[in-house]
Amino acid sequence: MSSDFVNNTRSVPGGVRPGFTVWLTGLSGAGKTTLAEALTAALAAQGRRPEVLDGDVVRTHLSKGLGFSREDRDTNIRRIAFVSQLVTRQGGAVIVAAISPYRETRDAARALIGDFVEVYVACPLEELVRRDVKGLYAKALRGEIANFTGVSDPYEPPLRPEVTVHTDRESVAEGVAKVLACLQSRGYIDQVVRPPSGGSSHLAGAGGERGPAGAVPLSGSPNRHPAAHANGQARGSAGDGTPLPGPEGAALPTSAGAPGLWGHLGQPHGGRLTLRQAPAEEVAAWRARLERDALPRLSVSPREACDLELLGNGALSPLEGFLGPADYRAVVRDLRLAGGLLWPIPVVLGATESEAAGLREGQDVALISPHGVPLAVLHLREKYLAEPRSEALEVYRTTEDAHPGVAAVYARGPVLLGGRVTVLQAPARPASLRPYLLGPAQTRHEFATRGWRSVVAFQTRNPVHRAHEFLLKTALEGVDGLLLHPLVGETKSDDIPADVRLRCYEALLAEYFPAERVLLSALPAAMRYAGPREAIFHALMRKNYGCTHFIVGRDHAGVGDYYGTYDAQRIFEGFTEVELGIRPLFYEHTFYCTACAGMASAKTCPHGEEVHLTLSGTRVRELLRAGEPLPPEFTRPEVAAVLTGAARQPVMA
């Protein structure tokens, strides 16, 4: 099965062509109406004159009075499906052009109609915003339009459409040709004819705007994201969160690969990017209330401060705050939120019994950093008791407090506070780190600007040595770009400080990687050391950052001997790629082989361990503390120089 076209030939008894429905689904402005008009003309050339049920037209007649709630949307689609079924069973042709955002409702339409061809009219959100001459997406991103699909309401892309048309890079004629080829292969039309010439214009539309088939330009000024704040982040549920690309008038670059392969990967987890960072004027209003001592205050731990930053920039999408009791217990027990969405790590806020007693549900609570700085406001919804031993056993696979993640659970207050947060500012970071703290909206923008359709992410809390370099270059051979994404939040006290690691990454990239293929950014997350579960957690965050692939090596996020060497890879076997939304890349332990005179793994090297050189991160730290040189087979000399220099002087963590 191709991701762009499914061939499923059917027989045609007696030469009579059956009726059929072509169901065009996609976000507003993706080009459904334009494609429907061009397809209508192409079918008319064969003597098939289809009925066209356009979503905007149907709402003014058949579904007049319906709103945009889930129930009303479903009612609208059921009505369209009913009419389509009546026409189709009489041998007629129907073209439906409707957003139809919910997969379950589309599947019900398929079951009702029978002769059903689903066409996914796919277009990246950044391109939709750029096309939108009415500014509807901009208003929705600012929160001025409620229940806007792809922004404040989810859109669920088809899992197995018969045809996928990528309207940001395929012309009208190309899209029509793909649909006609599918119809011909299924026996619905006699032969594929060339659709009316429409030049090379891409499919486009904006909130129902129409134009002549094949002649709709990509209109609208690609200004900066209308809801962007000074830090480049947007507040609220921002579709895939991507700011607009490039200079004014510039189109999105495209890669040379086969982007259709990655169409189901790298979308925000849960369907939209959820950013809880408040705009400047709202921050000022909350600060004014704090100056009047109008809010109760609660100090947060360094880990919780990191979580607030990730809630603010959208890295923890779809979370809007700290988990309530139903989500907490479901995540601990089943690796899922209460609604069923995959989520492996409980993101919670702890309080002592006395602190919790002074707070009431429905109250706003100021969350204060360990340094006394207001970071966020919690809109307290629920107070409930934690289950620390159960959480430790399920998440960390041990109840031993020698495990740093378990120790953090035990040290946390016994009462958990659930509710949405409004983030006021990120925790203070060293000046050297700030240029690298790109949020998901910014990395997605950068990927689009560079024309990367497939991006592999690499998680690390150590300097990149020769073994890592080998994995990165191997992975980079199969994708457009690499996001080197070191974790710079709270880690163990004996880990190499973040600013030193960043200097190592800079030195390595400058000499050994093509600059146009790599983006260095930093993830301000705290390490949980949760092994297998944290591997999924890290993958989902990188999915929110816009990555399509994620490297999982040996003992990912491990500590001590609490996990098996490849447990973090095996856990992915319990989930489908569709629900993960990011493709894990598994690699075995690598080493420098003196006989091979290069990097290798057990899969590629026939020699014994006596000629393999390996050094763990722990061993590297031991050598640095002892002032001993790092072997060139283990690390590049430029990286070794940074580490050695840092080991000789005090550094800031």
Q: Where are the beta strands (DSSP E) in 129-186?
A: 163-166
CA distance 211 to 132: 14
Residue 377 amino acid letter: V
Q: Is the peptide bond before 318 cis (omega within 30 degrees of 0)?
A: yes
Residue tagged active-site, from 100, 152, 201, 369: 100
Query: In angstroms, how far is CA 9 from the centroid of its own chain?
Result: 35
Q: Which residues of 178-190 are buried (b: 16+ CB within 10 A; e: fewer)?
A: bbbebbbbbbbbe
Q: Rounded to the nearest 5°, which phi and psi values hold at 202? A: -80, 155
Q: Which residues of 144-155 are buried (b: 16+ CB within 10 A; e: fewer)?
A: ebeebbbbbbbb
Task: Give me the DSSP letters along 220-267.
Answer: S---S-TTB-TTS-B-EE-TT-PPPPSSTTPPPP--SS-GGGGTTSSP
Listed in sequence order, the residues at least 6 apart from 598 whose beta carbon sits closer than 8 Å to its beta carbon are: 592
Q: Sort 393 into a burial class: Cβ within 10 Å, 0-12 / 13-18 / 19+.
A: middle
Q: Which of 542, 648, 633 is nearest to 590 (CA)?
A: 633
> What are the structure tokens assigned to 461, written together?
């809390």
Residue 331 amino acid letter: V
Fill in the DSSP letter of residue 487.
B
CA distance 451 to 305: 34
Listed in sequence order, the residues at least 6 apart from 69 whose beta carbon sits closer than 8 Å to its beta carbon are: 147
**Segment holding 298, helix H or strand E:** strand 297-299
Using alpha carbons only, what angle is made at residue 416 by residues 415 and 420, rounded to the nearest 5 degrees?
Answer: 150
CA distance 129 to 240: 11
Identify the bridge partners of residue 352 per DSSP, sorted by sequence position. Answer: none
CA distance 56 to 76: 11
CA distance 395 to 409: 10
CA distance 240 to 141: 11
601 is known as an active-site residue: no
Residue 646 amino acid letter: A
* Maximum alpha-carbon separation in the chain: 87
CA distance 232 to 499: 23
Which residues carry out catalysis? 100
